Structure 1
C-alpha cells in the first residue's frame, strides 16, 4: 500500500504531540476563518486563516504543521481528511484611529494562511468543512472557561452552491487587533461576493472546538459544533464588549457591514461575525469568523511632569517626567541667569541661578505631529524653617504616654502646620505638641513635617525606647494536664523584680519564674517592678487545669459469639486509640468502638486524648470460648454452635 507523504507526516506529528508535555496545549488562539472559491470542474480552492497571540500565547503553541481539515457530509459523517503544511507566517500591525495613539508593547498577533485545492463533486446535502484547535487565551473576559474552550472554523458548501459553482463572500479586512477604550469603533467589516449574491451581516456566537486533552484533533471532531458560552450577564451576542455601564454595544450594519461601538471596559474579548449569502431569496452559504479584541488604554503624546511648586533652601530641582506616548523630550527652564538652559533628558536635575519664581516648560515629541507641552511654575525660596522637638515617656505599666514638646521656629515667617507620625503603629497628629498612647514596648520613631506660611517644608525625626512592665511576663494564661506542672514566667527579664504574693504552691514569691502544680484552675497574682522602683504593675497569671480523663469501658467479658464490640467513652476525650499490648506499641484501631474476636483470653487497652493533649489509659479483658456449650458461673447453660458461651466476670 502506498502512503500519502502528507498523511504519513500528519500521523507522525499526531504521535509526537501525544508524547509531548502539556505545554504544547497552551493557549494561543486569537481567531480565524475558512473560505472557498469554485475553480470549475468540481475543484475548489480552500483557504484557512488562523491568528495566534504571540505575547500571551505560549511560544511552543505554534501554528499546526500540518493543519487538518475534515470534510463531512450533511449527516455529519467524515468523508476525507485534508492535511495542509504550514507555508509561512506574518505579524499584524495594529491600526488605530489616530496617528497620535500608541499601542502598548504587549500587543502582538501572528497570522498564517493555509491553501489547498480539493475536488468536491456534487452530493445530496453538500459538504461541511471544519478545522479545530484549542485553546483560547486564558485572559479573555467575556466567555466561560476560555482556557478550556477551543475554536472551530469552517464553511458549509450547500448542494445548490455545488451545482452553481458558487464561491463564498470574502471579508475585505481583518478587524483591528487593538481597540482604544473610551474611543469609538468604526470599522468596515464588509465582504465581497464574486458571484454578485445578496449579503447580510450579523453578529453571531463563535463556535467551540477542540479540548485541552486533545488540543489538535486530526481529523477534526464530527459536527454539529457547540457555541461558546458567554458570561451572561453582562456579556451575550447583543453585548460582546462592555462589562460595565456606559458606552455603546458592538453592532454591525446588516447591509453595509460597518462595525461600530464604544467600548468602556478594558480586557480581551471574543467577537463573532456571520455573513449570510442569498441567491433568489434563498440562503446558500454562511461564512463565520471570530476574532479577539484587545481593548485597553492607548498612549498618546501627553506632556506632564511633577516638580515642587515651592522649594526652600535649595536651588537644585528634581523633575519627574510623567509624560506618555513618546521618548523625545525638550525641557526649557527659563532661567534669566542662564539664558537658553535646556535638557533632553527624561528626568533632568537642574540648579537655578538664584531664588525666585520660574516657569518651566516640557515639550513631548518636539517638532512632531503629536507634539504636546506642559508648564509649571516653581518658586525657590530661602529656608528659614528650623524643626526641633523633645520626647519624654510618662508611665511604664501596661501603657505609656509619649509626650512631644515642639521647639521649632521660623526666623522670618510663621509655622502654618505640624504633621506628626509615630511608627510602628501609624499614629498621627497635627497638634503642635501632641501626646501619643503607646501600648507595646519597643523602639519608636517620631517624625515631624513642618510647613511655614510661605509654603516651605522641612522634616526631622527622632527615636525613643519605650519599656512596659506588661512585657516582663511571658504570658498571662497557661493550660496544663492534671498532675503536670507549669512554669509561670519561663522567659523572664532580669531587669525586673517579681513578687508572686501568697500561694500555697509557691515557696519563694520573689522567684521570677516559679513552677507550680495546681490541682485545679488557679489564678496567681504577681507584682512586677522595675529595678529602680519607679514603676510597678499588678496583674495575675491564670493556669487552667484540664478536667481529668476517666475513660469508661465495659467489664471484663467472656463471649459466646464470633465478634464482640467494645465501647469506650469519656466526655472530655476527642481521640481514641486501641492497643493489644500494655506498652501501647502498635494501635489496632481508632474511634470509640473496637470489634474484637479473641480466641481465649485477651486484654485490650484504650488510650484517650483531650483537646489539650492530655491522655489516660484503661483496659478490658475479653475471653472467647470455642466450645458449643458452657455452664455459666450462675449455673445456666449458654448454647452456641461453633460459637461460645458468654460469661461476664466483674473485677
Structure 2
C-alpha cells in the first residue's frame, strides 16, 4: 500500500510481521510467515532465503530438524504486495508505503515434549517510531509457539486477520477488527504483547536467530505496554472479540504495537501467535467516503431507479456528485445529489458514483443493481397467423407477477403467464398483470387468415457485403435457395441501366451482386411434365412468376472507381477514345467479316491486363478480348472484378465513324495473296522477324520456327520484313 502525503518522515526497513502454521499430517507442517517493510526508504530487499530458527520450549536449537535447526524459506516474488492507495489531498503528514510478502515452506516436526518455538529475526526498524527507544538500532523477532498438545492432535494455528489500515486520522477513535479464524473451533484469547527486539545493526540478518527467550523493545517515556500510543482511552484489545480500540492523539506520529493470540482446546494451550505492526497517524481535514442506496419503482413504465447519496466526510463537506449508470447499451449521467433514472426493459444497471469534497478530495464506489420490469415481453402488438396455427403470446415474463387473460376463447389458460393462442378468427386479447405494488393492462391483436402456399412462388433476400454492394438471393416458396442448374427451374434477372452500369440480363445465376439503389426484375420458370410425356420444353407445363424489387438497405464499404471501355477495332469507341488497339486483334465488327473481336480497354487507351482483374465474359472467356460471330454483336456482356469492386458492361455496335476495314474481304491476307497459298516453310523463307500470339492475345512464340512446336489450332502471326509489318491468321494442323 502507498499513501502520498508529503515527505517529512524517513523509514529504514522492518515494520511488522507474524508466523502461523498448518498441520498436514505425518508430522508435516506448512509454515507461513508474513513480513512487512518500508518501501519508500527501506534499503535491503526481502531476505532470500529468510532464516527461520527451530527451538524447543527451553530455547535449545533442534539440530535434527530441517537444516541443522534452521528452515531456509525462499522469497516468492509473485506473492509480494505493494498496493497503492491514492489519498492525495486533505491529509497532512509524510508518505507511508507498506511492502508485504509471504513466505511458505514445509517443515517436519516430530513429537517433542514441551513443543517447539519458531523464530525469525531481522534488523532494523524505522527510526521514526515515536514510542520505543532507539528504533533505528532495534531489530524485530517474530515467533509462533507450537505446544506438545498441538503436536499430539495435529493442530493448525488460527489464521490471523488482515492487517489494519496503513494510516489513521488523528483526533479520532481507533477501532481495528483483528479477530482470527480457527477452522477447528478452538477458543481464542487476544491480548496486547510487547514487541520483541532481535538482530543488531552489526548482524542484521543472523544465520541462526538467537535462542529464546527474546527481549522486549524498550518503550519511550510516557509509553508502556498498557499505553502504547497515548490518548484516552488507552489502546486495548478485547480478549474475546479481538477488537482493538483506542484514541489517536492529533499529532503526526508513528507507533509500534503488538498483540498475541492464544489458542486453547479444553483448557489446554495449543499455540501462541505474536504479531506486531505500525500505526501511522496523520492530520486529516478531508477524507470523503462514497456510499449510496437505491429504490426501484416498477410501477412506472419505464422503470424508475432512485439513487440516494449516503456519502460522508467526517472532516469536510461533499459538494459534488457525478453519477454514471451503464444500462444495456445506454450510458446515463447526472450531477444531482439524489437523481432518478428511467430505464427501459429488464437488465443489470452498473452504477458509479464519484464524490468530491470542497478540498477537491474524491472517492469512488460501484454497485450493480438488477432491474426487472413488471411488464412482460409480448409478441408484436399485431400478429398474423394461419388458421389452425398456435402461438405463444409472451416471449419472456417475470414469474413473480400475476397474469390474467381475456377473452378465454382460443387460449390454453387464462391465468398462466404464457398461454398458447389458437383462435379460429381474428381476436384482440387483453392481459392484466400485477404485483404487490402496481398493475397494468396491455393488448395483443391476433389476425387469423387462411394460408395457401404458392408452390411456384419466389422471393428475394438482400444482404450487405463488406465492399458496400448488396447480394440478392432468390428463394423458392419453401424459403430455400433456388439452384438454377436444376433443369426444372430457370432464373432470368433483368437489371435496368444506372449510373454504375448499362442495362444487362443475367440467366441462371443465384445469388447476384448489385449496387445500392439498383432495381431489378426476376422471372422464374418452373417446368413439370405429366406422366408419360417426354421431358422436353414443348411438352412441359410452365409455372412462371415474376417479382420486381429495389434495394432498400444501406450498405457501406469502400471501392475504388472501376471504369473500362468496350470496343471493336475502328468502331466509334475506338475513334472517340483513341484506343491503342493492337493490330493482332484488330478484327472490326464494322467490317463485313463474319467474325469480329471486342476488346476491353482501360480509360488510358491500353488493353486491359487480365492478370490484374477477374474477367468474365458472357461467352465464358476470361481474357482481355473475345471473338464473336457477327450476328451476336449486341448480346455481349462482361463483368470485371478487382477485390470487392465490380464493373459490368455490355457492347453495343456503333460504326458511324467507321471509314474502311483493314481487310474489307473479311480475310487476313499476305501482301501478295491469301494466306492459304503459302506453306509454313514459305513463310519462314520470306519473313525475317515474327511474333506468334494465341486467340487470347498471349505471346506464345517469338519466331516462325518455334511455331512448329506449338499445338494445332488458330494463331495470329505478326511479321516484319523490309520495314513492312504484316498480320496473318494461321491454322496449324
- TM-score, length of structure 1 as denominator length: 0.41
Relative contact order higher in (CA < 8 Å, ≥ 6 apart): 1
